Amino acid sequence: MAAPAEPGHSPGFHKPPALLRLKRKRPGRRSHSAAAAEAAAAPAPRGSAAARRRNPFSSLDNAPQEAAAPPQPPAAAPAGGDPSAAPFWQVGPSPGRGLLSSHPSAIALRSQPADLHSPLAVAKAPSSPRQEFPADWSIKTRVLFLSSQPFTWAEHLKAQEEAQGFAQHCRATETTLPQSVQEPRLCTELRCAFQQSLVYWLHPSLPWLPLFPRLGADRRMAGKACPWAQDEALQQVLMSDWAVSFTSLYNLLRARLCPYFYVCAAQFSVLFRAAGLAGSAVPTAAIAPTTRGLRHAMRSEGKGSRGCSTASGQGWHRALHCSLSSATGIEFSLPLLEESRSRKRKNSEERRETGTADGLGRGSSVEDAGEAAPSDDDDDGSFSWLEEMGVQDKVKKPDTISIQLRREKHEVQVDHRPESLVLVRGSDTFTLLNFLISCRSLVAVAGPQAGLPPTLLSPVAFRGGTMQTLKARTISGRARVQGGFEDVFSLEVLGPILPHALHALTLVLGPAQRGAFRALLSPHEPSAAFNSGLAQPQEGVHQELPACGLHPKTLEQLSQCPTLGKSSIRLLEMKDYAYTWQA
């Protein structure tokens, strides 16, 4: 008697245990094992685990098929409105998810709406479009441009177009494009301008090491070859070469030939800006994040004999350090912390006045005073108010050590946070140059980054700098929309995308994409604090920077006072040649 075939499998397929039991079965007698075999061969109830499980030895053609599930609505946006975290696109082929393109780099856009310019995964953008978006001083690690028009014009640049783009960058040539380009692929000026917008300058240049970002990059650098890690002589050569490049950049900045540059170390980053940028009439330097130890070292810079004694063990910068030392330390401000304290103080006063007017009494005033941020006046050790109340002998006064511990506690609370941003202005930036060159904590002493100088990023050439280009690739795919699919095109740009590069790319994409595209931006989070405004903004600041190598429109944008605070732009959208954005 032939055993019944397994449903959904090849006709001659039998489970091994059932086959053995059939061979041992005596004719004419129904055994318990045969009954169990028939029960195992019977079709499982629909929806059970056995029905969903496919036998790995069966053919794919006759495997059990489930009923097609109804189409699911697009995934909801994550809380907080972060477009970089929204799973609306996926790299690589996705079976059954709407990818119909055979392009090797095609993507499946799962939740893309029919209108590419409708809000997606973020809160609604400002309702009033503007002709320009605010300056964003954070460094972007990735930008994804989306459009209903193809990006084929950005593919496979000719050798002459690439060379012309490099020449335009080195000569700071201004390229003027029409408002709309009818045939972008045939427009040589457009393709050269695109290549020009991808160029930046880097030091040091170690192709096998990822030199940005440096904060939290130990895991990515682990296992890489670092011949200088145990060689102090090689470390000294690297640092000497780095100091020359750093000084060259600062000299260009003071001469208004370099608009800005970044110093990216393993523990913090520094943004130097020339006079005339970010609403300041003097050069500025912003450091984030900082710690209490770093701020204390900056205050103590140059006091006593610290300058020359520190330099005594570093022969490569001894003379420079001793000549630039300051006797008063580096003066700086904490704009975000001061803004927070001012806001809390103002709210406390308003609540106290409201509580007094409503007859809430002393309780509300005491509670609000406890919420207010501590100020320097609270830590000066003055207790004259106790004498005014006549209880100076009945209340135990805190000693000097307690006051110092309380002050240090509040100062340490902002360490490694955006509020720890330090702003240095004017001639103190020159002292900061000297301090950073001699700062021992600038270079890691252990780990994968041990002995590696900080990364210098600049939009213009400088001594010892290496020309680099951002990585750009076009991606085509199909997005599921109501009623079917539609073609969606995207351009992905990777690398340390500096503020001028983002604006230069928008100047190119506007005419090429007929004034309609959206961009999803992934910022380097620690650098978002650079968008905070100055502690004392100066109105009407205008400094001539004609030879700094930037497009006039880009220079005009970067000259405006920062308005983004601690945040950065994550969604940028152009529609009808007007911008909206979401931070």
Token code pair at residue 334: 């904490």
- What are the pLDDT digits (tens) for 98-120? 333 334 333 434 434 334 333 33
Give helix 159-170 / helix 188-197 axis angle, nearest 10°: 60
Average pLDDT score over residue span 123-140 = 78
Average pLDDT score over residue span 126-136 = 82
In the block, residue with structure tokens 């904060």: 215
In three-state secondary structure terms, 309 is helix
Contact 515, 575 (CB under 8 A): yes
- Nearest 5°: the CA angle 164, 166, 168 is 70
573 falls in which pLDDT band (50, 70, 90)? very high
pLDDT score of 316: 38
Predicted TM-score (pTM) of the model is 0.70
- What are the pLDDT digits (tens) for 509-566? 999 999 999 999 999 999 999 998 775 555 545 567 777 889 999 999 999 999 898 8
Task: Give every CB contact of residue 335 below 8 A, 6+ residues apart in sequence.
Answer: 421, 423, 532, 533, 534, 535
User: What does the mean pLDDT of the chain come to?
Assistant: 75
Q: Which region holds residue 92: left if phi is over 0, alpha if psi is between -120 and 50, else beta?
A: left
In the block, residue with structure tokens 């098929």: 65
Lowest mean pLDDT among 164-173, 294-303, 391-400, 569-578: 391-400
Task: Give every CB contact of residue 428 below 8 A, 6+ residues apart in sequence.
Answer: 326, 330, 331, 332
Cis omega (within 30 of 0) for bond into 71: no
More confident: 234 or 441: 234
Contact 122, 582 (CB under 8 A): yes
DSSP 385-419: HHHHHT-TTTSPPP-HHHHHHHHHHHHHTTTTSGG
More confident: 483 or 280: 280
Cis omega (within 30 of 0) for bond into 178: no
User: Domains of the chain: which residue ranges?
Assistant: 140-199+470-582
DSSP 425-482: ETTHHHHHHHHHHH-GGGS-SSSTTTTPPPEEEESS--TT-EEEE-EEEEEEEEEEET
- What are the pLDDT digits (tens) for 46-85? 544 444 565 655 544 444 444 444 444 444 444 334 443 3
Contact 562, 278 (CB under 8 A): yes
Please give the Cα distance from 517 to 148 (Å, whole number). Answer: 8
Cβ neighbourhood burial of 227 (10 Å; 0-12, 13-18, 19+): exposed
pLDDT score of 385: 61
